[in-house]
Structure 1
Amino acid sequence: MPLFFLPMAAIVTAQVQPSATATTVIYGVVAPVCTVEVASPSAIVSLDIRGAQSMTPVIYRCNDTNGFTRQVSSLNGGALVRGDQRIGYRLSQDGDVSIAIADTTLTAPLVSRISGSASVTGTSGMLSITIPVVPGRLVAGDYTDVITIEITPN
């Protein structure tokens, strides 16, 4: 019987090549947005009406996960002013409980913290004022105040 010899390379078992893997991370970035808008930059109210008077809707948008801090202030300390004559008022805002403002006099800035989930897609409420008493002997003309609403991400 003849003998056959195989070359040494044929006898060695084939080496298994290790598998190769590559990964990549995909991510997107959402830009931070924190805005407040009023539908009307000015509002005329009647000094003859004692109930709440709607002024303008206010829309808050903030996508910060920690929400935002709102500061509402009055240039004249919560009063419509003409010269040295003042007509005090109370400010309120309806809407979602997270942004609502109960009647306040704004003699000092009103600061409140709003949760992150409350305003991601936009939350709005109507800003209103109530004039409880109009003093007698007022000079005819325009009585004004400037209300500033500022929001900053938390």
Structure 2
Amino acid sequence: ASGRIHTSAVTVAVLAEPEDLDLQINPQDLKIDVFRSSGPGGQSVNKLESAVRITHIPTGTIVVCQDEKSQAKNKKKAMRVLKARILDNIRKEQAKKIAKDRKSQVGTGDRSEKIRTYNFPDRRVTDHRIGFTLHKLDRVMEGEIDEVFDALLQAERKLKLGQGK
């Protein structure tokens, strides 16, 4: 209340929520090899081709399983591991994309990147990108933002026409 104006900067990012993934693997995308296990297990390990190697061709992901004595059990286990690895990679890619989108929307948050100013004492809204000022802050705060959007759309059209698009 000493007559000073308080100034704050806010960054806002609007992001889509990552999809819930239900991964369906096409059997034609798999190369399945069976071979004899190695390690402890006695004669059955040396005689039977119970170990399984599954390669997911599109991603190059390879899973080997030889924990069980049964080829069927090893194959089932290898498929679970393969699916988990592929899902993990997809989620990591989604997280990277979200981080990139967020960074492009938020920037550094520095005051020099300001887009819009809401000046309450003057009841003014200014969009600094296009140099548009509107003296109807109370109505804008109530959701009447068509004039601001119309000015932005007009500036975008003008820019595209200037670039020959």
Q: TM-score range by the shorter chain?
A: under 0.3
TM-score, structure 2 normalization: 0.24
Give the structure with the larger strand fraction: 1
Q: Which is bigger in relative contact order (C-alpha 8 A, separation at least 6)?
A: 1
TM-score, structure 1 normalization: 0.25
